[in-house]
A and B are shown apart, each in its own frame.
Chain A
Amino acid sequence: AQKITQTQPGMFVQEKEAVTLDCTYDTSDPSYGLFWYKQPSSGEMIFLIYQGSYDQQNATEGRYSLNFQKARKSANLVISASQLGDSAMYFCAMRPYNTGNQFYFGTGTSLTVIP
Chain B
Amino acid sequence: GAGVSQSPSNKVTEKGKDVELRCDPISGHTALYWYRQSLGQGLEFLIYFQGNSAPDKSGLPSDRFSAERTGGSVSTLTIQRTQQEDSAVYLCASSLGPQGANVLTFGAGSRLTVL
- Interface residues, chain A, with chain B CB atoms under 8 Å away: 33, 35, 37, 43-45, 47, 50, 52, 91, 93, 97, 100-108
- Compute how far the CA of A33 lies from the CA of B98 in the bound complex, rounded to whole angstroms: 11
Contact with A along B60-104 (1 / 0, CB 8 A): 000000000000000000000000000001010100001111011
B26 within 8 A of A: no
A44-B108, A50-B103, A108-B42 are known contacts; what are 10 more A-B pairs with Cβ within 8 Å? A37-B106, A44-B106, A45-B93, A91-B42, A91-B43, A101-B48, A101-B55, A102-B45, A105-B35, A105-B43
- Interface residues, chain B, with chain A CB atoms under 8 Å away: 31, 33, 35, 41-43, 45, 48, 50, 55-56, 89, 91, 93, 98-101, 103-106, 108-109
Q: Is A35's CB under 8 angstroms from B104's CB?
A: yes
Q: Is A107's CB under 8 angstroms from B104's CB?
A: no
Q: Is B101's CB under 8 angstroms from A103's CB?
A: no
Which 3 pairs show the lowest CB-CB distances between chains A and B?
Answer: A45-B106, A101-B98, A107-B42
The residue of chain A having its C-beta at the shortest distance from the C-beta of B98 within the complex is A101
- Compute how far the CA of A50 lies from the CA of B91 in the bound complex, rounded to whole angstroms: 20
Q: Is A103's CB under 8 angstroms from B109's CB?
A: no
Q: Which of B56, B91, B106 is packed against the most chain A CB atoms within 10 Å? A: B106
- Compute how far the CA of A35 lies from the CA of B93 in the bound complex, rounded to whole angstroms: 14
- Compute how far the CA of A39 lies from the CA of B6 in the bound complex, rounded to whole angstroms: 17
The residue of chain A having its C-beta at the shortest distance from the C-beta of B111 within the complex is A43
Q: Which residues of A contact B31 (CB under 8 A)?
A: 101
- Compute how far the CA of A50 lies from the CA of B101 in the bound complex, rounded to whole angstroms: 7
Q: Is A105's CB under 8 angstroms from B103's CB?
A: no
Q: Which residues of B contact A35 (CB under 8 A)?
A: 103-104
Q: Which residues of A contact B99 (CB under 8 A)?
A: 97
- Compute how far the CA of A102 lies from the CA of B104 in the bound complex, rounded to whole angstroms: 11
Q: Is B45's CB under 8 angstroms from A104's CB?
A: yes
Q: Which residues of A contact B33 (CB under 8 A)?
A: 102-103
